[in-house]
Amino acid sequence: MEVVVFTNGCFDIIHPGHVELLERARALGTKLIVGINSDASVRRIKGSPRPYFSQEDRAATLKGLRSVDEVVIFEESTPENLIRKLKPDVLVKGGDWQLSEIVGADLVQSYGGRVFSIPLKEGYSSTAVVEKIRQELTGYNIEKSAANDGFSDLIKKSLISHTETIEKILGGEIENIERCAEFIQQVFESGNKVLLCGNGGSAADAQHIAAEFVGRYETERKALPAIALTTDTSALTALANDFDFERIFSRQVEALARKGDLLIAISTSGNSPNISAAVMAARRVGCRTLGLTGAKGKKLASLCDESILVPAVRTARIQESHILIAHIWCEIIDAKFSEG
């Protein structure tokens, strides 16, 4: 009897950790199908200039592994539609994904399938490989440099790093920003609402963006329906008392979101458990999802329908860029509404 195992990922730079994960996944059944993100999908999840290898090259490399029986390329950010089509008996992801964060887990479990989060081989990461190569080529480490420089250079360094981040956005994210603006506009045009959530400084970003949608911005227009899930302190206190921290936003999504709404999930790291839980709750009710995160926010980007990864690792650069991008969205939306 055939037992089909499915796993997915970008597999841009294949390392021993990938090889071990695929071998362990294959051992759970008789056939292993690997779904890989298309080139366009990788760019949405990891940002420019990824991927380093084309989808055809990545597929060919995977097919060369004895553990892999079939490779399927998918265009969406998540493999949900592919999983729905294949209906695998077993769904596998790496150990950095909790079962509650695995897209398609509910579907596979609904028909009796099994879902596994397999621990990763320690010491291996595609992102770490890229960072190591970059540091060896440039001889420069942003975080160490920032820590070792004197206070007198702090203002200059911050302004320079801000400018460099904006230049990177200008060079690689224009098409993505426009696509996300259209995504948001479609939600408003269909009469649905936007919900926003974030932790810490990202909570302030969520409130700011919600205010811009509801308010006037630069031109007179009808207020757009937006809710910042981070603003109601009474609700947050009650949720914190009654549930664990990870459910603070997901409970609000369950109460407020409807099919066709949009959740904008904001996390500088892309690894906030309560933000991921909110995204998964939104997906369950048919709410569309858009992630705002930083250069290392692959996890959040992988969970969302659309995403923007600010090409920076410093929290300040990421958060100020989120506000800038939101202002541009408002300009685009206002321009489109005025055309209509």
Residue 142 has pLDDT above 50, yes or no: no
Residue intervals in the chain for CATH 3.40.50.10490: 168-339
Residue intervals in the chain for CATH 3.40.50.620: 4-126
Tell me the C-alpha distance between 5 and 249, whole Å.
32
pLDDT in tens, 41-80: 998 888 778 899 999 999 999 999 999 999 999 999 899 9
Share of the chain above pLDDT 90, in %: 68
Query: Is domain 168-339 annotated with CATH 1.20.140.10?
Result: no
Phi, psi angles (nearest 5°) of residue 166: -60, -40
Tell me the C-alpha distance between 131 and 146, whole Å.
16
pTM value is 0.81
178: Cα separation from own chain's centroid: 17
- Strand 306-310 and strand 262-266: the pairing is unpaired
Q: What is the mean pLDDT of the chain?
A: 89
Tell me the C-alpha distance between 169 and 103, whole Å.
28
Cβ contact 93:69 at 8 Å? no
Closest CA to 328 of 181, 155, 168: 181
Question: What's the topology of domain 4-126?
Answer: Rossmann fold (3.40.50)
How high is the pLDDT of residue 130?
A: 72
Residue 128 has pLDDT above 80, yes or no: no
CA geometry: angle 289, 292, 293, nearest 5 deg: 130
Q: In angstroms, what CA-CA distances link 266 with 145, 229, 289, 340?
A: 27, 11, 11, 30
How high is the pLDDT of residue 297?
A: 92
pLDDT in tens, 21-48: 999 999 999 999 999 999 999 988 887 7
Closest CA to 259 of 307, 182, 187, 189: 187
Cβ contact 29:64 at 8 Å? no
Query: Quick one: which H or E segment has residue 281?
Result: helix 273-284
Average pLDDT over residues 276-305: 95
